[in-house]
Amino acid sequence: MESWVRFNAQSQAKERVFRAAQYACTLLGYTLQKGGASADLLTTIKHLEAHLSLTRKLMRLGNSAEALEAAKRAVHLSDCVLRLCITVAHLNRVMYFACDNILWAGKTGLLANLDQNKWSQRSFRYYLFALILNLTRDAYEIHLLMEREARSSSAKGSLSSPSPLAPTPENGEFSPSPFPSPASAPVPAFPVITARLHRQLRLLVSVLRSNPPLLLDLLKNLCDVFIPLDRLGLYPTGTGFVGACGLASSILSILTIIHPWLKLKP
């Protein structure tokens, strides 16, 4: 009960719950439509989804100021790549929220003759840019961590003293190479590339396993990116897939609110 009260007190947490409910409705609507459910039930779900969407738009009023403040803070980061990615991502979020607010005004009838489709496309464009920058940041963080991990593992390898039983070049014994020497035959490129890829993949898995916040942020952004891609017609995936991605992303977001240590910093 205590954790629920604490969770419920945050407006971002409530927004995430409503987002999860909205995408659950999208997914449910798609599933029921495929299953041939009654039109009445489908209408109710559509109505609920639209209501959740509109309320979330209302809740996001004023979030531009928050994103702007976050951009201001990100400007002071020491790492230039992080500074660029995070600041520009937040500025795109500012623009996305501004478009979203205009859309809300259009939907409530405050701006009667607003081209809602145009503004919706515009808002999704900014949202997509923000997500691409967030994914770039994730990729950069992963790259840094992989480099560090590779360096530390190679340092460990060089520091660990060779076993007296292990064959060493000093006593004239060499470990048998899996590949023939360059003198005898040319090295086939494919096994080398495969081995390197395998090593990189192992390194990636190791890095992500040891950094749950980064893994969570990456998964969340990957799920989110399909939504604007579908809405903008860049990569149409269908309502069901969009609903599933939105729901997964919302649940991951809720997880980062419940457990703040899972939130990626900065």
Residues near another protein (CB under 8 A) are: 1-2, 4-5, 8-14, 18, 43-44, 47-48, 51-52, 54-55, 58-59, 62-63, 65-66, 69, 108-110
Minimum CB distance to another protein smaller for 65 or for 75: 65
Supply the minimum distance, in Å, between the C-beta of residue 72 and another protein.
Answer: 9
Residue 172 φ then ψ, to 5°: 80, 5
Least distance from another protein to the Cβ atom of residue 209, Å: 32
Q: Is 10 exposed, middle or buried (0-12, 13-18, 19+ CB in 10 A)?
A: exposed
Q: How far is the CB of 139 from another protein (least distance, A)?
A: 30
Assign residue 233 a region (left: φ > 0; alpha: ψ between -120 and 50; beta: otherwise): left
| Residues 56-80 as b or e (16 or more Cβ within 10 Å = b) | bbebbeebbeebeebbeebeeeeee
Nearest to 60 by CA among 22, 23, 12, 108: 12
From 205, 225, 213, select the one nearest 253 (Cα to Cα).
Answer: 213
Question: Minimum CB separation from another protein for residue 49, in Å?
Answer: 10
Instruction: Give the nearer residue to another protein in terms of CB position, either 109 or 172.
Output: 109
User: Which of residues 2 and 170 has its CB atom nearest to another protein in the complex?
Assistant: 2
Cβ-contact 74, 47 below 8 angstroms: no
In the complex, minimum distance from the CB of residue 69 to another protein, in angstroms, rounded to a whole number: 6
Check whether the bond before 266 is cis (ω within 30° of 0): yes
- Residue 102: both structure tokens together: 């205009």
Q: How far is CA 16 from CA 23, 49, 123, 152, 245, in A?
A: 11, 14, 19, 39, 14
Q: Which is nearer to another protein, 59 or 203 (CB)?
A: 59
Angle of CA points 224, 201, 194, to nearest 5°: 130
Q: Which is nearer to another protein, 61 or 205 (CB)?
A: 61
Residue with smaller CB distance to another protein, 209 or 265: 265
Taking the complex as a whole, the smallest distance from the CB of residue 57 to another protein amounts, in Å, to 9
- Of 256, 262, 263, the closest CA to residue 20 belongs to 256
Task: For the CB of residue 53, give the shortest distance to another protein in the complex, in Å.
Answer: 11
Q: In terms of CB distance, is 101 or 128 closer to another protein?
A: 101
